[in-house]
Structure 1
Amino acid sequence: MKKTLLLLLVILLLIPLSPTAKANLSTKKEIFSMLQEAFQVQVSLSERTRTKEEIYDLLNPYFSEAYQKLFWKESVFEEKGKFITYGSDFALFYIPFFHYSDKTKVIFLPESIYVFEFFPATIDGPVGYEDHFEGVLLRKVDGGWKVDEYLYNNIPDSILKKANISK
Structure 2
Amino acid sequence: MKKTLLILLIVLLFIPLSPNAKDSLGNKNDVLSFVRDAFQAQISLSDQTRTKQEISDVLSPYFSDEYQKMFWDENVFEEEGKFVTYGSDFAFYYIPFFKYSEETKVIISPESIYVLQFFPSTSNGPVSYKDHYEGIMLKKMDGGWKVAEYLYDNIPKSIIERAY
Amino acid in the other structure paired with 2:116: F
For structure 1, list consecutive stretches of 5 or more residues without a partner in the other structure: none
Asked if residue 43 in structure 1 is aligned to residue 46 in structure 2, the reply is no
* Whole-angstrom distance in 1 between the partners of 2:158 and 2:23: 26
Asked if residue 120 in structure 1 is aligned to residue 120 in structure 2, the reply is yes
TM-score scaled by length of structure 1: 0.89
Shift, 1:11, TM fit: 8.8
- CA displacement, residues 52-87 of structure 1 (integer Å, 9 cap, x when unaligned): 000000000000000000000000000111000001
Name the structure 2 match of 1:58: 58
* DSSP-derived class of the 1:24 partner: coil
Total equivalences in the alignment: 159
* Whole-angstrom distance in 2 between the partners of 1:11 and 1:89: 37
What aligned pairs does 1:97-136 form with structure 2 within 5 A after superposition? 97-136=97-136
* Whole-angstrom distance in 1 between the partners of 2:125 and 2:9: 53
TM-score scaled by length of structure 2: 0.91
Moved over 2 A (4+): 8-15
Shift, 1:27, TM fit: 0.8
* Whole-angstrom distance in 2 between the partners of 1:142 and 1:18: 13
Name the structure 2 match of 1:76: 76
* DSSP-derived class of the 1:139 partner: strand
Amino acid in the other structure paired with 2:78: E
Name the structure 1 match of 2:67: 67
Shift, 1:15, TM fit: 4.6
* Whole-angstrom distance in 2 between the partners of 1:53 and 1:155: 32
For structure 2, list consecutive stretches of 5 or more residues without a partner in the other structure: none
* Whole-angstrom distance in 2 between the partners of 1:85 and 1:10: 34
Change beyond 3 A, Cα 1:15–1:127: closer
* Whole-angstrom distance in 1 between the partners of 2:14 and 2:118: 42
* Whole-angstrom distance in 2 between the partners of 1:146 and 1:152: 18
Name the structure 1 match of 2:30: 30
Shift, 1:111, TM fit: 0.4
* Whole-angstrom distance in 1 between the partners of 2:41 and 2:11: 26
Q: Which region of structure 1 is more displaced relative to structure 2, 110-119 or 155-164?
A: 155-164
Name the structure 2 match of 1:144: 144
* Whole-angstrom distance in 1 between the partners of 2:18 and 2:34: 15
* Whole-angstrom distance in 1 between the partners of 2:9 and 2:39: 33
* DSSP-derived class of the 1:135 partner: strand
Alignment identity in percent?
Answer: 64
Amino acid in the other structure paired with 2:157: D
Alpha-carbon RMSD across the aligned residues, in angstroms, is 1.9
- CA displacement, residues 21-69 of structure 1 (integer Å, 9 cap, x when unaligned): 1000011111111111111111110011000000000000000000000
